[in-house]
Amino acid sequence: MDTLQQSLTEHGYVVFDLRDRMNEALTQLEQAAEAAPLEDWTQVINNNGRVQDLALNDPVLVKEHALARDRLFAGEFAYSFKRIDCAGEARSAASEQVRSFLRSTLFTSMLADRFGSVVTGGEAVYINKFEEGDFLTTHCDRGADIAVVISLTRDWDMNYGGLTFILSQDRTRILRTISPSFGEAVIFDTKGKPTPHFVSMVCAPRGRGRSSLVARLHIERIKQ
């Protein structure tokens, strides 16, 4: 616990492997995401500060995605990627699987053992998928206490993009590059030391994408 918590406190993020204790559960999440019908997915787009969750067959999607790309090329904050909302009233099979995982002893004991923390609530929970043309420009996750990102992607070719770049606080240097790897977790300190990062645009073949479980959570330290 001390080493991971120390890294999170010092750097604002920590990267570690969950396959040793969660491989079966993460495989079930991976399979639930892969089996999700198209209607469970939306394209979430931030274009000039306007966030839209669009059905994949929405006729305005192509236009809004192109406008978000223009913002990217202009050096402004923007994003466009697919997701399954797993918070609130979402009732898809994949969302139920995600909520069950986050409530499980497997997950809660991991936070307790490695970070000395318990979950007290959440603000956003979803499975994302970055396919050809999807991206997320430089930002700091804010709100809640931590953002947990767990990769559900196997055998990813780094040439496809979709890499997470961790930046210095002044956003002038790349401190670390994280390639999607199944079972690898990144936890960001979204309250004490938000960390600038971005996901590079994906150029994978059609039908190939990189997916992750994302959860922004409120936590409390366990009293010793």
Positive or negative, the Cα torsion across 93, 94, 97, 103? Answer: negative
Q: Is the pLDDT of residue 1 over 60?
A: no
Q: Is the pLDDT of residue 13 over 70?
A: yes
How does pLDDT run across 75-121, given as a tens digit for each residue? Answer: 999 999 999 999 877 689 999 999 999 999 999 999 999 999 999 99
Q: To the nearest whole percent, how much of the chain has pLDDT over 90? A: 89
Would you state the structure tokens that stand for residue 123, as one six-digit string? 């603000």
The whole-angstrom separation of Cα 54 and Cα 47 is: 13
Distances (CA, A) of 138 to 45, 102, 146, 170: 15, 27, 18, 11
Average pLDDT, the chain: 95
Residue-level pLDDT at 3: 87
Average pLDDT over residues 12-27: 96
For 16, half-sphere exposure in the C-beta direction (CA atoms, 13 angstrom radius) is 19
Query: In this structure, which amino acid lies at residue 99?
Result: R
The whole-angstrom separation of Cα 42 and Cα 129 is: 10
Q: To the nearest whole percent, how much of the chain has pLDDT over 70? A: 98
Positive or negative, the Cα torsion across 75, 196, 131, 77? Answer: negative
How does pLDDT run across 129-165, given as a tens digit for each residue? Answer: 999 999 999 999 988 999 999 999 999 999 999 999 9
Q: Which residues of the chain form beta strands (DSSP E)?
A: 13-17, 42-47, 50-55, 79-85, 117-130, 135-139, 146-151, 164-167, 174-178, 184-189, 197-199, 210-221
**pTM score, two decimals?**
0.95
Instruction: Report, at the CATH architecture level, how domain 2-37+85-221 is classified.
Output: Sandwich (2.60)
**What residues does each domain of the chain span?**
2-37+85-221
How does pLDDT run across 153-196, given as a tens digit for each residue? Answer: 999 999 999 999 999 999 999 999 999 999 999 999 999 899 99
Q: Does residue 62 sit in helix, strand or coil? A: helix
